[in-house]
Chain A
Amino acid sequence: MPIPDIERPIPRLLLYYALKAVAALPMVVFMGPYLYFRYHTMRYHFDEKGISMSWGIFFRHEIYLTYARIQDIHLVSNLVERWLGLARIQIQTASGSSGAEMTLEGIPDHEAMRDFLYSRIRGDENLKPEEALSREFMGLAEDLKALRNQLLRADHD
């Protein structure tokens, strides 16, 4: 699968954030600006080996993790998010915290993103030595056949 070229969350996330801030009624004074700046400073960068994500204006955060170290992927959505067609992708690595190490929000096609991350997790390579062996054996057989044909032709000449 190609590496996604996503840098910013979709604008619908801002709508969700607005609803979330309003739902936190007394805390809206704090939640509103926090989520507003979180949305506007949220940046993703997907490269060959991993994802970096950054956000924050006063307290800046940046996380980088590699696809190979991803352990489990959670796709989470509450009722409001489902209605808005949003979902959070929570990515777990083997670090100690029980919470998610990185939460991707506002991804245009979260299902496709989940499938992309899943395809990049290291994990089924143990099957590959066997596959590599059988491939090598196949190649060996082909080479032997070619050699036999060559020798046969040389003999006929």
Chain B
Amino acid sequence: MIEHWKQRLLQLLKIPEVPHIPPGEEDHAEVFRPGKPYLLYLRLAWLPKQAIGLLVLIASAFWWHGWFLRYTSRLGYFSPETWYTIYLAIEAIAVIAFAVQALATWIALRWNYERRFYVLTDRCLRIQEGTWTFRERTFTLSRLQQVGLQQNPLQRLLGLSDIVVSTAGGGSKSKAEEGGGEEESLHAGHLRGLFDPIPVREHLVARMKAHLDGGLGDEASKRPESPPELLESIQSVRMEIQCLTALGSRLGTTPK
């Protein structure tokens, strides 16, 4: 029953179910997902936030209680009992809103985990994430400026790590528009909750080492590591041989 409703909800949310692999790169694309403990990690990170929310809710109820009743008793209009009912109604709405919010964010944690995909090819890194707001980021590996590995104590306990890649431009952390998204710069990508980050890191670092230009879209001819003399020499050798072939054909057709 629960499973049925869950599927219905997921259909309504229309979060992409499968990773999208760049066309033409299917055979050397590697798709991976966060490690299993990542869901637990998300839930553990969810708890303190909700606890703070709950504390604020309770504290404000008490604070409001005194203030509201004192103020309204001076205001008149209704009897103190009616004001007290109004107070209770407002509090009830606040409590219901908090409960709905808590439930929705709790359920969203699972979707966040299940619908999170990382695609790594020889050319790009793609991150698909998000529940309410879905975001697919595609980074070309030659344009990466930094690759970092991060782990906080909780992640260490669970055996998870984050890989952070950043491209040129930086900029301060911006609140992702229309809520939903996480607060981060659009010039950085986070591969969150990886169980075995080392091979991924190695792949990224190897690709970065192979690209020693500025990573700003420079023209191919200005690349220092391509040996133009070698290429030119081979081209000239080829031209010589083409001339020789022409000569040979002329020699072959001239009567002796």
- Which A residues contact B (CB, under 8 angstroms)? 66, 68-79, 82-83, 90, 92-100, 111, 114-115, 118, 121-126, 128-129, 132-133, 136-137, 139-140, 143-144, 146-147, 150-151, 153-154, 157
Contacts and interface: CB of A to CB of B under 8 A. Distances in A.
Contacts of A66: 217
Interface residues of B, number: 63
B186 A96 contact: no
B248 A99 contact: no
Given A78-B178, A115-B22, A140 B136 contact: no
25 contacts: A71-B143, A72-B189, A73-B137, A74-B135, A75-B136, A78-B178, A78-B180, A83-B14, A90-B186, A94-B167, A95-B169, A98-B173, A99-B171, A99-B186, A115-B22, A121-B140, A121-B217, A123-B140, A123-B143, A123-B217, A124-B142, A129-B220, A129-B225, A129-B227, A147-B244
Contacts of B173: 98
B121 to A, nearest CB: 10
A76 B135 contact: yes
Nearest 5 CB-CB pairings of A with B: A98-B171, A129-B226, A150-B248, A94-B168, A154-B252
A154 B210 contact: no
Given A71-B169, A123-B142, A136-B234, A143 B217 contact: no
Contacts of A151: 248
A96 B185 CA distance: 11
B245 interface: yes
Given A126-B210, A143-B245, A72 B167 contact: yes
Contacts of B186: 72, 74, 90, 92, 98-100
A98 B174 contact: yes
A129 to B, nearest CB: 3
Contact of B138 (A72, A132, A154): A72
A73 B234 contact: no
Contact of B225 (A96, A126, A133): A126
A147 B218 CA distance: 39
A125 B245 CA distance: 32
Contact of A147 (B22, B189, B241): B241
Nearest to A114: B138
A133 B133 contact: no
B131 to A, nearest CB: 9
Contacts of B231: 129, 132-133, 136
B134 interface: yes
Nearest to B184: A98
A123 B23 contact: no
B123 to A, nearest CB: 5
Contact of B234 (A79, A94, A137): A137
Interface in B44-89: none
A153 B245 CA distance: 12
B153 to A, nearest CB: 28
Contacts of A99: 171, 174, 186
